[in-house]
Amino acid sequence: MKNPLVNDNSCSWINDLNPRSNIQTLSSDLNCEWLIIGAGYTGLSAARKLGQLYPNQKIILVDAQLAGEGASSRNSGYLVDTTLNDGFTSNKELENYKKKADIYKLGIEAIKRFIKEYQVDCDWNECGKYFASSRKEDEKILENFSVTLSKLGFENDLLFNKDLKKKLGTNFYNIALYTKGGILLHPGKLIRAMIDTLPDNVYLYENSFLLNYKKLNGLIDCSFQKGSIKSKKVIFAVNGFLKSLGIKKNYNFPITLTASMTRPLTNEEFKSIGAPKEWGVLPIKPMGATIRMTKDKRILIRNTAEVYNPNRMSKTDLAKRASKQKIGIKKRFPQLPDDIIQSSWSGIVSRTRNSSQIFEKLNDNMFAAGCYNGSGIGVGTLFGEQIAIKASNEYTKEIETIESRSKPTWLPPQPFLDLGVKVRLMYERLRARSEI
């Protein structure tokens, strides 16, 4: 199997960082007590926890590309406490949503602990977030959601056009629900800090693509392009690529997202949109645009989701999608220049049918965590830490909370799965056409 992943220079979050040195690629055969496949939020968190638990054991962390430069640094930088639901019809649904929210809360706490312990600067901003729409007809959806959040103790406020323009610098939106608990951050800075603070007994190998794995004499034998690793236990933390490794393949599927970010606005441009404070907007409809203002006055927009080969997009394909994002920015900020987009990039998220996550003991030697349905910063960090503890045959209140969630539900096989997902995306795109 050929490595489909290629490091590129298209993502603004990554380009904000200084280039790393001393990058090692696996080039020999090794043995270890612990092996983690995937060096995003989950893998880095798992490696850190194992390094702390077993300071005298060898822990190896391997990524197919550069650590942290997959979905972990290609997202929109939202650390979410809540996600939108259209309202509930039963107490059971409310209970399930609370369990979901409890996991988000634990994820936020995990990030806060890390930031405090290592004094991390990642543009942390507890500014909350807006679920917003240009359609006044969506008011009922937000009213229902407001009732749900209030029942669960989440502070929230309904806002309308005039107030939204002051907050966001655009009159595009007519209604929004503001939730206080959302956090905005710089995902590149956060993931880089996780890499830089790995324990000394964690050995990181990058640009090392996993070809296959098998059980061999009580160990897991993992073959890479230029070497192999035999380990007593393996944690798979590859999120959107779980399915390609044959892990829980009937319970998760990858979706490709694309995003664009502008250059920093000039002082004049910033004043023309009302000089707003940093803000983030999530759409009411799944295919609507996610859009935010960064600390340094850039605008990020993501308004595409599709079934796409999980290889990195070509420049031509990326340019086609960036043109939609240019239109999305222009609809919201017509006073800004046409050529304001500085970079565009793609990334993979992992989805399940019922928006639940994967947190599994596959057998005595293998464990997996992933499938965060677009909310991977906090949840991925939490799941990495806790899957390391679970693999150590320990138990925590956090694991109890995680395992009380609804488990991912079964998906139909190919080609029916891809067809079904494509049809659903087309339907959602049609519903959200005014919000793109």
Q: What is the pLDDT of residue 1?
A: 43
Q: Is residue 135 part of a domain?
A: no
Alpha-carbon span 83 to 282, nearest angstrom:
9
Strands 30-37 and 227-236: parallel
pLDDT in tens, 102-146: 999 999 999 999 999 999 999 999 999 999 999 999 999 999 999
Helix residue spans in 57-122 (DSSP H) = 91-118
Burial of residue 417, with CB atoms counted within 10 A of its CB: 0-12 exposed, 13-18 middle, 19 or more buried: middle
The stretch 37-59 carries a mean pLDDT of 98
The stretch 253-270 carries a mean pLDDT of 95
**Confidence label for 90 from pLDDT (cuts 50, 70 and 90):** confident
Q: Which residue has the higher pLDDT, 227 or 9?
A: 227
- Domain span including residue 30: 1-126+186-253+320-436
Q: What is the pLDDT of residue 4?
A: 47
Alpha-carbon span 228 to 213, nearest angstrom:
9
The stretch 34-39 carries a mean pLDDT of 98
pTM summary value: 0.96
Here the CATH number for the domain that contains residue 387 is 3.50.50.60
pLDDT in tens, 302-357: 999 998 875 667 888 889 999 999 999 999 999 999 999 999 999 998 999 999 99
The stretch 393-399 carries a mean pLDDT of 97
Q: Is residue 71 part of a domain?
A: yes
pLDDT of 5 over the 60 cut:
no
Alpha-carbon span 187 to 393, nearest angstrom:
31
Q: What is the pLDDT of residue 105?
A: 97
Q: Is residue 296 part of a domain?
A: no
**Residue 40 vs residues 43, 44, 70, 194, 220: alpha-carbon distances, Å:** 5, 6, 7, 9, 21
Contacts of 408 (CB under 8 A, 6+ apart): 248, 251, 252, 352, 353, 354, 356, 357, 358, 371
Over pLDDT 70: what percentage of the chain? 97
Q: Strand, helix or coil at 390?
A: helix
Q: Which residue has the higher pLDDT, 349 or 378?
A: 378
Q: What is the pLDDT of residue 258?
A: 93
Q: Is residue 1 part of a domain?
A: yes
Q: Is residue 313 part of a domain?
A: no
Q: Is residue 280 part of a domain?
A: no
Q: Is residue 43 part of a domain?
A: yes
Q: What is the pLDDT of residue 294?
A: 98
Q: What is the pLDDT of residue 311?
A: 64
What is the DSSP annotation of 38-54? --SHHHHHHHHHHHHH-
**DSSP annotation of 230:** E
pLDDT in tens, 174-220: 999 999 999 999 999 999 999 999 999 999 999 999 999 999 999 99
pLDDT of 6 over the 70 cut:
no
Alpha-carbon span 283 to 130, nearest angstrom:
8
How many structural domains comprise the chain? 1
Q: Is residue 34 part of a domain?
A: yes
> What is the average pLDDT value for the chain, to the nearest integer?
94
Of 299, 357, 354, 353, the residue nearest 331 (C-alpha) = 299
Residue 346's beta-bridge partner residues?
A: 258
The stretch 383-390 carries a mean pLDDT of 98
pLDDT of 62 over the 60 cut:
yes
The stretch 388-399 carries a mean pLDDT of 98
pLDDT of 55 over the 60 cut:
yes
Where do we find the tokens 């004499």?
217
**Confidence label for 159 from pLDDT (cuts 50, 70 and 90):** very high
